[in-house]
Structure 1
Amino acid sequence: MDEVLLVSRCKVNLFLKIGERLANGYHLLTSLFFPLPYPTDEIKVTLTSEESFFLTSNFKFLEQNNILEKCFWLFKKETGFQGGCKVYLNKKVPIGAGLGGGSANAAVFLNFLNHLLPTPLGKNSLIRIASQLGADVPFFLFNKPSWVEGIGEKIEPLAIDLTGLKGLLICPKIKISTKWAYECWDKIQISKKSFLTLSAWINKKSVSQGRIVLLNDFEKIIFHAYPQMRELKEEMFKLGACGGGLSGSGSAMFFLFRETKKQKQAQAVLDKLGLLSYNYSFV
């Protein structure tokens, strides 16, 4: 079979509340996931007749214990899929940034493998497999703005209207372990008020009616450990952001602007600081 090129995107969390920790180590979540068109990863797949999996990447450390390998063997176990794969992962989505890059890789690869089956698995079966790979993986199976609950397996697509707004994604040169962030969360008692965010509760009904509260519980953890990120958020608001904050467990942050001029001014400040960033226009 010829080489197949898969494109894997990323997401930001416009809203993230952390619930109780379950016996399996996962936490119950309530979140509003919003997909971004870029940055993207590329996954080049060649099917083989051997019952094996071989991965190479532009980042050598990703070649060991990669979620793509876990996805492949889990899929074979669940479906009896025959054959193997040689995969090259061209990683462009920042690592350890809270953008779900690895989860997106797994979801795109899982969808690809599923379509190779004589009778592809249905939605519920795919979600069940994806949930075993990570909390964000089920969302990326469909990659639409969604209200997400549970450990990521309860997904309800929503029509999120950001028309007229400008987005700015900032990727500081800081890698944050999601595992570490959750461990910190579990160790301390935290009040319900979040720094520089509205703490009002929202639900999927209010979001579908256009009321979006930008909030992320992880900010309490991350901004304490990395005060420069809190300062960066303050700077974005000074430059005219109308909302924004941390995505996932960070370190990426996403901000919204009503005016293109202010977005460009903020971009210029980030460029001067040497920070990687991406801008978006929602029409």
Structure 2
Amino acid sequence: MHDFEAFLAPAKINLFLHIVGQRSDGYHLLQTAFRLLDYYDTIHIKTTNTGIIKRVNDVAGVPEAQDLCVRAALLLQKHTGCQLGAEILVDKKIPMGGGLGGGSSDAATVLLSLNQRWQLNLPREELLTLGLQLGADVPFFIYGSNAWAEGVGEQLQALTLHDAYYVVLTPNVHVSTAQIFANKQLTKDTIPKTIAAFSGIAQLSTENSAGKNIHDEFINQLEKVVCSIYPEVKASLDWLKQFGDARMSGSGASVFLEVNDAETANRIYQQKPKEYFGFVAKGLNQHPLLCK
């Protein structure tokens, strides 16, 4: 029916991550601030009239049946009864298992783009509910702007953040999220904070030079446990901390430093140890598909 069309799937970082409780089903209740980055996977989609969903390229370590892109397309197809199909080509740049949301972002981009390409016109709220079935981070990418998140990550409020650049490093180690959340040393009953308190501190940081951009009250509570188990993460964080208030994103392994301008970010990045994968990115205010 159509040729392939390219859709961007941005990375994210967690500016902080607190665990404030645990549900009876075992899911942890979180508070976090999600920030979109202008560093992308690209999802190429060709709609077909066969009704078949298939991925047309190999993705290392991800069997087609487990690929969130394929699962997202099948879920949307089943939910709407759509008779159309799709061929999906996934061009990965965001490191997998790095706490940068690549798989979740890819899934959200498939839902957003096929909703358009298949002319389903589902409202965003309905897509958010579908996205949650695929993973806790998927709704954020469908939501489409920087957000304060609670619950398991699906309760979202828009967050206004100042322009900033990020040096992101990903050590060559795969952190098991389940292992970290099961760790006995993890604090799981932090007193909830307010979006107002975070927003006030986030705005103050524009007046500061690079360094204390995120207040000490807002930390990543997984960071200490991850660093105790994975020395590679601790080493990359320690290296980045010499330049300012570096943080870990999500459950790792990626770490990041917020700075005020691209020149500073690139200068720091050029000094990084060769064994670390990394990139420099600017914070986005909205998802590239938000207006589509």
What TM-score does the superposition give when structure 1 sets the normalisation length? 0.85
User: 1:3/1:273 Cα in 2 relative to 1: closer, same or farther (>3 Å)?
Assistant: closer
2:101 paired residue number: 100
Q: Secondary structure at the match of 1:34?
A: strand
**Structure with more relative contact order (C-alpha pairs < 8 Å, separation 6 or more):** 2
Partner of residue 206 from structure 1, selected from 184, 197, 202: 197
Question: Is 2:232 the partner of 1:233?
Answer: no
Q: Deviations over 1:167-206 (max 9, x none)?
A: 211111112232333233xxx043589xxxxx99742112
User: 1:49/1:24 Cα in 2 relative to 1: closer, same or farther (>3 Å)?
Assistant: farther
Q: Which amino acid aligns with 2:253?
A: S
Q: Which amino acid aligns with 1:139?
A: F
2:21 paired residue number: 20
Q: Give the deviation of 1:25 after TM superposition.
A: 4.0
Q: CA RMSD in A?
A: 2.6
Task: Name structure 1 gaps, 5 residues minimum.
Answer: 194-198
1:120 paired residue number: 121
- Give the conservation status (yes or no) of the 8 Å contact 2:30–2:150: yes
2:246 paired residue number: 244
Q: Give the deviation of 1:63 after TM superposition.
A: 3.4
Partner of residue 268 from structure 2, selected from 246, 266, 269: 266
Q: 1 CA distance for matches of 2:197 and 2:101?
A: 25
User: 1:14/1:282 Cα in 2 relative to 1: closer, same or farther (>3 Å)?
Assistant: closer
Task: Name structure 2 gaps, 5 residues minimum.
Answer: 203-213, 285-292
Q: Deviations over 1:28-49 (max 9, x none)?
A: 11100000001x1111111122
Q: 2 CA distance for matches of 1:13 and 1:191?
A: 18
Q: Secondary structure at the match of 1:174?
A: coil
Q: Deviations over 1:37-81 (max 9, x none)?
A: 01x111111112222211133524323311112111211221112
1:196 paired residue number: none
- Give the conservation status (yes or no) of the 8 Å contact 1:58–1:90: no
Q: Deviations over 1:63-116 (max 9, x none)?
A: 331111211121122111212111111111101100000000000100112124
Q: 1 CA distance for matches of 2:253 and 2:282?
A: 22
1:253 paired residue number: 255
1:169 paired residue number: 168
| Residues 212-231 of structure 1 mapped to structure 2, 5 A cutoff | 212-213=214-215, 214-231=218-235
Q: Give the deviation of 1:158 after TM superposition.
A: 1.0
- Give the conservation status (yes or no) of the 8 Å contact 2:50–2:84: yes
Q: Give the deviation of 1:117 after TM superposition.
A: 4.9
1:50 paired residue number: 50
Q: 1 CA distance for matches of 2:115 and 2:182?
A: 34
**Paired residue total:** 269
Q: 1 CA distance for matches of 2:22 and 2:191?
A: 22
| Residues 27-38 of structure 1 mapped to structure 2, 5 A cutoff | 27-38=28-39
Q: Which amino acid aligns with 2:16?
A: F
| Residues 182-197 of structure 1 mapped to structure 2, 5 A cutoff | 182-184=181-183, 188-191=184-187
Q: 1 CA distance for matches of 2:228 and 2:283?
A: 32
Q: 1 CA distance for matches of 2:227 and 2:155?
A: 29
Question: Is 2:41 the partner of 1:41?
Answer: yes
Q: 2 CA distance for matches of 1:123 and 1:42?
A: 21
Q: Give the deviation of 1:260 after TM superposition.
A: 7.0
- Give the conservation status (yes or no) of the 8 Å contact 1:160–1:210: no
Q: Secondary structure at the match of 2:253?
A: coil
- Give the conservation status (yes or no) of the 8 Å contact 1:57–1:91: no
Q: 2 CA distance for matches of 1:264 and 1:87?
A: 34
Q: Secondary structure at the match of 1:69?
A: helix
